[in-house]
């Protein structure tokens, strides 16, 4: 049975927050909960899913601003993050630099690493380390679904910023070339902002990657 995926466009930066669930086991995770993530919980309740974890592609404030939903559960839900982004997480994702107060939620207990296999219900998902936008940025690849959650590494005909602290342009391009463009061409890419795209589309038409 195919996994359930839905997108919520949340907050002033129009972040894509994703709900990923296994319809058979009813287990669900939230990827990159942004502002107003209570909307995600309402959908989870309506569909009778069981939220089990929160996964962060990286620790910028707009991708973790809703992580406090983890406190709604007893004990609080576990959060996953790559350890190279823990310093950024401890700074609340850099929110203070934008004059914004953000509570980053529970300290991450799941520390992602490259090549790690994580489970959601009956599905296995691969973690890939894709630094460049931030040092600890990761993506989640679902080969059976031909789907990848790529955060702010690549967008529809765009790429992630590298002018923020911890950004590295050469790293970002290398991450895209070695970890995203090596996926099957028909793989759907779900980014942190903007519409979905595919590997084939970006290889052919992304002006930053020609």
pLDDT in tens, 6-21: 999 999 999 999 999 9
* pTM for the structure as a whole: 0.97
Res 98: pLDDT: 86
Average the pLDDT over 63-84 and give the result: 97
Res 12: pLDDT: 94
The token pair that represents 199 in the structure block: 């590997």
Average the pLDDT over 20-34 and give the result: 97
Q: At residue 191, what are phi and psi to the nearest 5 degrees?
A: -95, 170
Nearest to 63 by CA among 121, 116, 126, 137: 137
**4-209 — its CATH code?**
3.60.15.10
Domain boundaries, the chain: 4-209
pLDDT bucket at 34, cuts 50 / 70 / 90? very high
Average the pLDDT over 82-106 and give the result: 95
Least confident of 76-85, 89-98, 152-161: 89-98
Res 156: pLDDT: 98
Q: Flag whether pLDDT at 1 surpasses 70.
A: no
| Cis status of the peptide bond prior to 75, with omega within 30 of 0 | yes
């Amino acid at each position: 049975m195919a996994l359930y995926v839905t997108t919520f466009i949340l907050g002033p930066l129009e972040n894509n927050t994703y709900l990923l669930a296994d319809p058979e086991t009813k287990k669900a995770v939230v990827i990159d909960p942004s502002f107003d993530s209570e909307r995600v919980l309402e959908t989870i309740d309506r569909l009778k899913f069981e939220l089990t974890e929160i996964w962060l592609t990286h620790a910028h404030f707009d991708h973790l601003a809703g992580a406090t939903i983890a406190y709604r559960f007893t004990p609080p839900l576990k959060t996953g993050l790559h350890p190279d982004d823990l310093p950024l997480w401890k700074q609340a994702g850099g929110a203070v630099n934008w004059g914004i107060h953000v509570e980053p939620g529970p300290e991450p207990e799941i520390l992602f690493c490259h090549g790690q296999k994580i489970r959601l219900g009956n599905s296995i998902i691969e973690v890939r380390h894709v630094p460049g936008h931030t040092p600890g940025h990761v993506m989640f690849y679902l080969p059976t679904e031909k789907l990848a959650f790529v955060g702010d590494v690549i967008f529809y005909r765009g790429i992630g910023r590298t002018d923020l602290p911890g950004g590295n342009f050469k790293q970002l391009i290398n991450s895209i070339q070695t970890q995203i463009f090596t996926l099957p061409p028909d793989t759907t890419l779900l980014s942190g902002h903007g519409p979905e795209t595919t590997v084939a589309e970006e290889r052919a038409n992304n002006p930053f990657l020609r």
